[in-house]
Amino acid sequence: MPKRTDIHSILIIGSGPIVIGQACEFDYSGTQACRVLREEGYRVILANSNPATIMTDPDFADATYVEPLTWEVVSAIIDREQPDAVLPTLGGQTGLNIAMELFERNLIGVPGKPEMIGANAEAIATAEDREIFKQAMLGIGLDCLRSGTAHTMEEARVVVDEIGLPAVIRPAYILGGRGTGIAFTAEEFEKIASNGLTASPISEILIEESVYGWKEYELEVMRDHADNCVIICGIENVDPMGVHTGDSITVAPIQTLTDVEYQEMRNSALACIRRVGVETGGSNVQFAVEPSTGRQVVIEMNPRVSRSSALASKATGFPIAKIAARLAVGYTLDEIPNDITKATPASFEPVIDYVVTKIPRWAFEKLPGTSGVLGTQMQSVGEVMAIGRTFPESLQKALRSLEQGRLGLGCDPAEQQLAGLSDDELLAQAAIPTADRIQQVGTLLHRGVSIDAVYEATSIDPWFLDQMSMISEERAVLLAATLDTMTTRGWRRAKRLGFSDAQLAHLWSVAEDDVRAARESAGVLPTYKTVDTCSAEFAAETPYHYSTYEDESEVRPSDARKVVILGSGPNRIGQGIEFDYCCVHASFALRDAGFETIMVNCNPETVSTDYDTSSRLYFEPLTKEDVLNVIAVERPEAVIVSLGGQTPLKLAGLIPPELVAGTSPDSIDAAEDRERWNTICDELRIPQPPGGTAIDIEQALAITDDIGFPVLVRPSYVLGGRAMQIVHDRNHLARAMEELAGFGSLGKEGGLSAERPVLIDRFLADATEVDVDAIRDHTGEVLIGGVMEHVEEAGVHSGDSACALPPPTLPSWVVEVIESYTIAIAKYLDVRGLINVQYAVVGTTVYVIEANPRASRTVPFVAKATGVSLAKVATRVMLGATLAELRTEGVLREPVGGHVAVKEAVMPFNRFPEVDPALGPEMRSTGEVMGIAATFGRAFYKAELAAGNPLPTTGTVFLSLADPDKPAGLVVARRCRALGLGIAATEGTAAYLAAFDSPVDQVVAKVQEIGDDGEPGVTAVDLIADGKISFVVNTPRGALGRSDGEQIRKAASLHRVSCVTTVHAALAAVQGLSEHEGEVLTVRTLQEYHSVMDTVVDAQTGSAAS
């Protein structure tokens, strides 16, 4: 059946900001869907609050709403656009939830309203409700986990008699999973169950059969409306059940199931999607398999594209989201051609002749207080994928892709960390799933601990363990060899097991370059194979490759003009989708300009690793060895290193300098090297906060003796404020220096050395922080892309701070000074392309904090706010175009004004209730949203709503302020009162407000305080827990006395009460509330904002020649 002609316009709901569990895989799927549906001639309307995405580029939809993702706002968009259909299955859980909220209010999916395509409300409810799902599965004869609920110990014993031990006990209505436990014996069961009954406010526990340690599998299924079903990919988890699949190392294809077992699983997955009733599109079905019996149990099903479907798409070359979008508008699988073979239809099941390994990346080092133990709730912030012909090869490639200082499975300097542990200690550690487990297992096998013992401890399937032990056995062989005795066959065997040149260099204590030279002279070079969905059964011209060491290379590089773009690797806090956006834009811009583009990246979630994005895609680790190999085979005229964040920038000095596009590696270093940077600022007469560099505590103390406390301490060459802190005294300084040295978490990212010293600067209290993105071309013209004023004061990491464009409070003369400084710095560094400069404004002084001649996190935000595609313009400039030429070409347009855009950071604290949510100099946000409106207040209101931190229009505001913040707090209290909100405050704050005739409604006790009657007084934590507070303003009191406030902030985070931790944010919030227009927000498309050409071109966005 051809596509539907009864619908003409389709609303796609995006997934909003990047959060843990919902990352750029939904930009990948959404971007594909937008593209496809427009190709099919539909009017595409997109709602997504995340400005850093490719999909929210105005080119990708007919109407792009960068607006908060709440059902009310989406309903306003529906009213305005009157779409014929809503596609809710491509925007993750967010998209699905909003669709369900709209459906429950009869706003979609009912007669007379937009139709739901992809999955209907009943199907979504069947898959999402645990109990309905279980009954549905049992109804079609599939096995599910045995479970039951109990309200008394008697009931509990009956249930556990039925399901057997071990059993998991979960108390009902307990946030954060507290009280959950596994009972292996009857005694344990008695204890955990009775504790659980006590802990649960409704005295209810769920008792469930334990599948801890079972094997875990996922199947990606697609179905069309004619009921044709195919499996796209089977995934096997290396980490068994008990670790969330998003936190597990996973492998495709499935390795340890017989065909009989696999077909049983396949039949179950097909029965599942049919029963749930997903009409068209992709779904993910998860299974647990008991290793000793082979019993298969359905765990859950996601009736939408997911993180796993993005992984499956990259793993097989079958674009699930693209096909899902086509199925949603009426095509059947057999009507859609397979993208890759062109000759065969999409109604087939991909087969692959390689092994894919995915490894998550976590950010525990940024979240002190977390245990680092992996469990059933996802905690990772990103992932890498690697492709090799075998599991050992792909595992080692994936481990070096992580960029955490590991060169592979051990055989590197970092393995020393485990040297002090006995085998038993190491086995005990490996029994607990953590981020380090894979390396612990590698070390155990290397030491010769038996596979059976490691299996006993970890439940990792012996097949995987045996494959890993091949790596350590080969290592022993290699250790007996030297550079000179290595034979061609020896090299080949080592490389086929995934050993990197750097590992071999470590093993033999020689330079990596010498290893490379010896290997190359032995004739052992990587070959590049093709991802083709069919294991070479059919001819394919897919431009999607991976390296391996085989006989035949399939890449035939062309003679065209070529540019290599180095991507940004795994998402992590501080380096995420913004940089992928820049790399993708670079690829688009260069393709438009007639270049062939070659993308190198290892992040399976991204648009950059869609084989459609560039002329050729190399799915490879971003290491010196792997990147030089791609350069050797492609012979590009330039390599772009400055758009993917710190990852490619670090490689700039390791590739031939004449290939580096844009600003020279020397200029990049001049901006990074403290001494050289000081000289530049002195020569340019641009003030800096006083400070210096230190490699040990003595040097550090010499600096603080000179400039005094507080100081800002930060390592050089890292992104995201890693280990950055504000230090108030000498003891604190000593602790900070210690943490930065050695094998601390930072050691993994390069450590501390004379080349990489610590920067110590005077901390500028109460300064306004400003960010500037600019582009300079080779004629010297500088384009100021945007000047952004931060809402939070300096001291809060720029990535965690809200910011506004244009600057709402900076005097125009200050903006002019900032622009002049930026132009002077760009000129001095001879920048060709982007530069980001950060300033701190104190009174009438503008201090420069740092300059980075590369793309910044704010580039996509500025582009969405002004309509100027900075990344595209910068890319062309790097390759020699001038701004004037790009204006003529139409690539560079005039920026638009007349509105205010606010970017707000989205924090992961609700996943980590043990972490203090106070903002500081270390970045911890995972994503961002944008609010755009006519005024700052309204834009801020939207941004907070979009960030999940809605400003209260009713209820009580709780204030607890540090002394210096009290005057501003007074203003906040008065404005809140005027808006009709109640006020509660801690004693000190209340007394201060009362002194200025602003009494509060309720004074609360300190958290640990006992009232006059001997009973504990009502605390802020109690009020928050009871739902009596709608907004918390709590500012930390310097280095001391944080504990009380910390508990208040944690309570707000746990109970999802909006909270701000700086007085500047509180002031912005009251401004937002006072400008708030009422219940219905005004929504407008980016296309409308960007077409406002009649407004005066802002002084700050004008360009100036230098």
Partner 1 sequence: MTLRDGALVLADGSVFEGELIGAEAAITTGEVVFNTVLSGYQEVITDPSYAGQIITFTTPHIGNYGVNAADFESRGIFCRGIVVREMARRHSNQRAEGSLDAMLQQHGVPGVAGIDTRRLTRILRETGAMPGAFGSASVADLRAAADAEPGTDGVDLVRQVTIDQGYTVAALDPDSRTRIVAIDYGMKRNIAVNLSRYGTVEVVPATTSAADILARRADGIFLSNGPGDPAMASYGVETIQGLLGNVAIFGICLGHQLLGRAIGAGTVKLPFGHHGGNHPVRNISSGKVEITSQNHNFAVDPDSMSGKATMTHVNLNDGVCEGLRVDGELAFSVQHHPEANPGPHDSHYLFEEFAQMMKHSSTAGAPRGSR
Piece of 351-359, 591-599, 1037-1045, 1095-1103 that binds partner 1 (CB under 8 A): 351-359
Subset of 38-67 contacting partner 1 (CB under 8 A): none
Give the β-pairing of 803-805 and 781-793: antiparallel
Residue 86 Cα distances to 7, 27, 45, 89, 798, angstroms: 10, 17, 9, 9, 36
Binding of residue 481 to partner 1 (CB under 8 A): no
Give whichever of 231 and 651 is closer to partner 1, judged by the CB atom: 231
Handedness of CA 314, 315, 318, 322 (dihedral sign): negative
Give whichever of 142 and 649 is closer to partner 1, judged by the CB atom: 142
**Other C-beta atoms within 10 Å of 8: how many?**
12
Give the pair of three-digit tokens for residue 569.
Answer: 């690797």
Piece of 33-41, 455-463, 810-818, 866-874 that binds partner 1 (CB under 8 A): 455-463
Binding of residue 541 to partner 1 (CB under 8 A): no
Binding of residue 425 to partner 1 (CB under 8 A): no
How far is residue 70's CA from residue 1102's CA, in Å, rounded to a whole number? 36
Among 199, 432, 451, 842, binds partner 1 (CB under 8 A): 451
Give whichever of 465 and 802 is closer to partner 1, judged by the CB atom: 465
Binding of residue 552 to partner 1 (CB under 8 A): yes
- H-helix or E-strand containing 638? strand 638-640
How far is residue 261's CA from residue 289's CA, in Å, rounded to a whole number? 10
Binding of residue 456 to partner 1 (CB under 8 A): no
Least spacing, CB of residue 355 vs partner 1, in Å? 6
Piece of 250-258, 781-789, 963-971, 1065-1073 that binds partner 1 (CB under 8 A): 250-258
Size of the site for partner 1 (CB under 8 A): 58
Give whichever of 332 and 1101 is closer to partner 1, judged by the CB atom: 332
Piece of 342-350, 368-376, 924-932, 1019-1027 that binds partner 1 (CB under 8 A): 342-350
Least spacing, CB of residue 261 vs partner 1, in Å? 7
Piece of 194-202, 528-536, 780-788, 1071-1079 that binds partner 1 (CB under 8 A): 528-536
Give the β-pairing of 833-842 and 768-776: antiparallel
Piece of 224-232, 517-525, 638-646, 673-681 that binds partner 1 (CB under 8 A): 224-232
Give the β-pairing of 544-548 and 296-302: unpaired
Give whichever of 238 and 767 is closer to partner 1, judged by the CB atom: 238
Binding of residue 148 to partner 1 (CB under 8 A): no
Nearest to 1060 by CA among 861, 842, 810, 802: 802
DSSP-derived secondary structure for 318-383:
--HHHHHHHHHTT--GGGSBPTTTSSSBS-S--B-SSEEEEEEE--GGGSTT---B--SS----EE
In contact, 237 and 216? CB cutoff 8 Å: yes
Among 389, 437, 938, 1076, binds partner 1 (CB under 8 A): 389
Binding of residue 484 to partner 1 (CB under 8 A): no
Least spacing, CB of residue 354 vs partner 1, in Å? 7
Q: What is the DSSP letter of 137?
A: H
Binding of residue 551 to partner 1 (CB under 8 A): yes
Among 477, 539, 765, 1092, binds partner 1 (CB under 8 A): 539
Phi, psi of 830 (to 5 degrees): 50, 50
Piece of 158-166, 327-335, 825-833, 874-882 that binds partner 1 (CB under 8 A): 327-335
**Other C-beta atoms within 10 Å of 511: how many?**
12
Q: Which residues pair with 216 in a beta bridge?
A: 288
Piece of 459-467, 609-617, 830-838, 1092-1100 that binds partner 1 (CB under 8 A): 459-467
What residue type is 934 in one-letter code?
A
Binding of residue 339 to partner 1 (CB under 8 A): no
Among 390, 678, 716, 953, binds partner 1 (CB under 8 A): 390
Give the β-pairing of 147-150 and 205-209: antiparallel
Among 90, 167, 355, 929, binds partner 1 (CB under 8 A): 355
Query: In this structure, what is the dihedral angle of CA atoms 519, 520, 524, 527, given to the nearest 10 degrees?
Result: 130
Binding of residue 369 to partner 1 (CB under 8 A): no
Q: What is the DSSP letter of 690?
A: S
How far is residue 830's CA from residue 826's CA, in Å, rounded to a whole number? 6
Subset of 225-244 contacting partner 1 (CB under 8 A): 226-228, 230-231, 234
3-state secondary structure of 282: strand
Subset of 262-281 contacting partner 1 (CB under 8 A): 262-263, 266-267
How far is residue 840's CA from residue 847's CA, in Å, rounded to a whole number? 5
Piece of 251-259, 366-374, 854-862, 902-910 that binds partner 1 (CB under 8 A): 251-259
Written in H, E and C, the secondary structure of 592-605 is: HCCCEEEEEECCCC
Among 82, 482, 535, 1082, binds partner 1 (CB under 8 A): 535
Provide the phi-psi class of 780: left if phi over 0, else alpha when psi is between -120 and 50, else beta.
left
In contact, 900 and 939? CB cutoff 8 Å: yes
Least spacing, CB of residue 126 vs partner 1, in Å? 23
Give whichever of 316 and 1103 is closer to partner 1, judged by the CB atom: 316
Residue with tokens 């290997």: 519
Give whichever of 170 and 275 is closer to partner 1, judged by the CB atom: 275
Give the pair of three-digit tokens for residue 1055.
Answer: 């109970």
Binding of residue 462 to partner 1 (CB under 8 A): yes
* Angle in degrees, CA 414, 600, 89, rounded to 5: 100
**Other C-beta atoms within 10 Å of 901: how many?**
26
Give whichever of 351 and 697 is closer to partner 1, judged by the CB atom: 351
3-state secondary structure of 99: helix
Least spacing, CB of residue 529 vs partner 1, in Å? 6
Piece of 350-358, 404-412, 846-854, 1067-1075 that binds partner 1 (CB under 8 A): 350-358
Give whichever of 277 and 291 is closer to partner 1, judged by the CB atom: 291
DSSP-derived secondary structure for 155-215:
HHHHHHHHH-SSEEEEETT-GGGTT-EEE-SHHHHHHHHHHHHHHSTT--EEEEE--TT-E
Among 120, 283, 313, 347, binds partner 1 (CB under 8 A): 347
Give the β-pairing of 544-548 and 616-619: parallel
Give whichever of 226 and 414 is closer to partner 1, judged by the CB atom: 226
Give whichever of 254 and 707 is closer to partner 1, judged by the CB atom: 254
Binding of residue 899 to partner 1 (CB under 8 A): no
Among 138, 158, 343, 994, binds partner 1 (CB under 8 A): 343
Piece of 125-133, 533-541, 678-686, 732-740 that binds partner 1 (CB under 8 A): 533-541
**Other C-beta atoms within 10 Å of 83: how many?**
24
Give whichever of 424 and 466 is closer to partner 1, judged by the CB atom: 466
Among 121, 163, 172, 351, binds partner 1 (CB under 8 A): 351
3-state secondary structure of 427: helix
Binding of residue 529 to partner 1 (CB under 8 A): yes
Subset of 682-741 contacting partner 1 (CB under 8 A): none
Binding of residue 349 to partner 1 (CB under 8 A): yes
Which residues lie near partner 1 (CB under 8 A)? 226-228, 230-231, 234, 253-263, 266-267, 291-294, 332-334, 343-345, 347-355, 389-391, 451, 461-463, 466, 470, 529, 534-539, 550-552, 554
